[in-house]
Copies of this chain bind each other. A is one copy, B any other.
């Protein structure tokens, strides 16, 4: 199911940004410091859409007509080669996606699908490009987001090339924990098969890797992860101070 077909069927989920929704979206990092007038003109030209889960938003190769900003929900960016595909990035609320394609007016290199019901702000790419040139704060925010995305890819590629799968999993779990303020117990968001794909391994192997981490201070119950021995985990994962 492609977005264009979807749009044709259910236009009711698409509407201009309502006045009462603007403050919430204006607080997103990419817009928070910019000129209010320009921000309003962006908002007036943008659409906020609600999408059901498991909907493919766009495919590789399409022209990037809109910058996408995830307001609510969860989105997966993925690539494919022949009959295989792999998850590249999980986009969390408050972040834009496919910024690089929208900026350069080039085709998407990754496809996107919703993982859960999601609300997405669609900003026309030409308007974004114009406004970026007029507003220093938006410019800076965009550049930073792009640079951040780049660094995330460098991290992922290094991870893939230099670590083996169980180490990648261990570091991923430590990173999740840190993002939650160092929580020792947290839930995986999304299915395990998704995590496997993100980490570049098969679901079978992920399952075995979780098993192996039991000896290094991890306990798993369904989607609930508990770090029972953080020292042991860090000893095994050897997180890089700059990356992880």
Contacts and interface: CB of A to CB of B under 8 A. Distances in A.
Given A88-B158, A143-B146, 16 more contacts: A79-B158, A81-B240, A82-B162, A86-B158, A86-B161, A100-B151, A101-B147, A106-B151, A109-B243, A132-B139, A133-B136, A133-B139, A150-B150, A153-B154, A157-B157, A157-B160
A104 interface: yes
Contact of A146 (B82, B84, B150): B150
Contacts of A81: 158, 162-163, 238, 240
The complex is assembled from copies of this chain, and their number is: 2
A149 B39 CA distance: 28
Contacts of A79: 154, 158, 161-162
A27 B174 CA distance: 46
Contacts of A18: none
A109 B242 contact: yes
Interface of A: 60-61, 79-82, 84-86, 88, 99-101, 103-104, 106-107, 109-110, 132-133, 136, 139-140, 142-144, 146-151, 153-158, 160-163, 200, 238, 240-243
A139 B146 CA distance: 13
26 contacts: A60-B242, A61-B242, A79-B161, A79-B162, A81-B158, A81-B162, A81-B238, A82-B162, A88-B157, A100-B146, A100-B150, A103-B144, A104-B143, A104-B144, A104-B147, A104-B151, A106-B151, A109-B154, A133-B136, A139-B139, A142-B143, A143-B143, A146-B147, A146-B150, A153-B157, A157-B157
A23 to B, nearest CB: 27
Nearest to A80: B162
B153 A200 contact: no
A79 B151 CA distance: 12
A243 B109 CA distance: 7
A239 B218 CA distance: 41
A139 to B, nearest CB: 7
B147 A103 contact: yes
Contacts of A241: 61
